[in-house]
Amino acid sequence: MSAAEEARELVPADVHARITAEADRIAGYGETAETLAPYPVNQATIGTWLDAMGYDNARFREGEAPPSMAQVWTMPGLGRKRSDDDPLHSMMGVLTAEGFTAVLGTNCEQTYERYLKVGEQPRVTTALESVVGPKATGMGVGYFVTSRNTWYVDREDGTSEKVATMLFRVLKFIPRTKAQS
């Protein structure tokens, strides 16, 4: 049996139909979910991040943030909750409700337009890019969920400037049992 046939056999047609309908609905929102960084970009956080990563660069000790920190400023952290309209969180909830309870990060593609500067307060929008599946993998049968985050900084003239983007893909799956191996 091919992997595609196995996936179709393991996911009932009605479950697949519900998942794809919800994916279409959530993707239809576009970039409506938006989060403002709770704090402006600041040198103390940059320094702590550099120390934690074991990386040092004079440029990042003098007012600019490493580009790979874009996500740091808008992550919800331990005490904050994701917004109810967050597309990735919503899609993960749909898949969990349908029995796809395990998650595995697969890849992340980031693009940086420019470095953030101390004092700027970025915001991020999130959109559901795609849901592909079912796919049979070595981990189990599941769906690949891709979201797109875009970070912006508002300018003094009232316009917004895009500073970074990220495509984030995860596999949300039903773990393979020993009998299936």
pLDDT band at 180 (very low <50, low <70, confident <90, very high): low
- Among 3-17, 100-114, 139-153, name the one with the lowest average pLDDT: 3-17
Q: CB-based burial of residue 19 (10 Å sphere; 0-12 exposed, 13-18 middle, 19+ buried)?
A: buried
Return the C-alpha torsion angle 93, 94, 98, 101, nearest 10. Answer: -30
Is the pLDDT score of 177 beyond 80?
Answer: no
- What integer pLDDT is reported at residue 8 of this predicted model? 75
Provide the domain count of the chain. Answer: 1
- What integer pLDDT is reported at residue 83 of this predicted model? 73
- What integer pLDDT is reported at residue 111 of this predicted model? 96
pLDDT band at 179 (very low <50, low <70, confident <90, very high): low
Tokens, residue 132 = 């592909």
- What integer pLDDT is reported at residue 128 of this predicted model? 96
3-state secondary structure of 51: helix
pLDDT in tens, 44-100: 999 999 999 999 899 999 999 999 899 999 987 777 677 777 899 999 999 999 999
Whole-angstrom Cα distance, residue 33 to residue 28?
A: 12
Is the pLDDT score of 10 beyond 90?
Answer: no
Q: What are phi and psi of 177, to 5 degrees?
A: -90, 165
For residue 146, which of 84, 68, 92 has the smallest C-alpha distance? Answer: 92
- What integer pLDDT is reported at residue 141 of this predicted model? 95
> The domain that contains 108 carries what CATH number?
3.10.129.10
39 sits in the region (left: phi over 0; alpha: psi -120 to 50; else beta) called beta
- What integer pLDDT is reported at residue 181 of this predicted model? 54
pLDDT: which is higher, 41 or 83: 41
Q: Which domain holds residue 9?
A: 3-180
- What integer pLDDT is reported at residue 140 of this predicted model? 93
CB 41 within 8 A of CB 122: yes
Strand-pair partners of 170: 105, 145
Provide DSSP, 131-166: EEEEEE-SSEEEEEEEEEEEEEEE-TTS-EEEEEEE
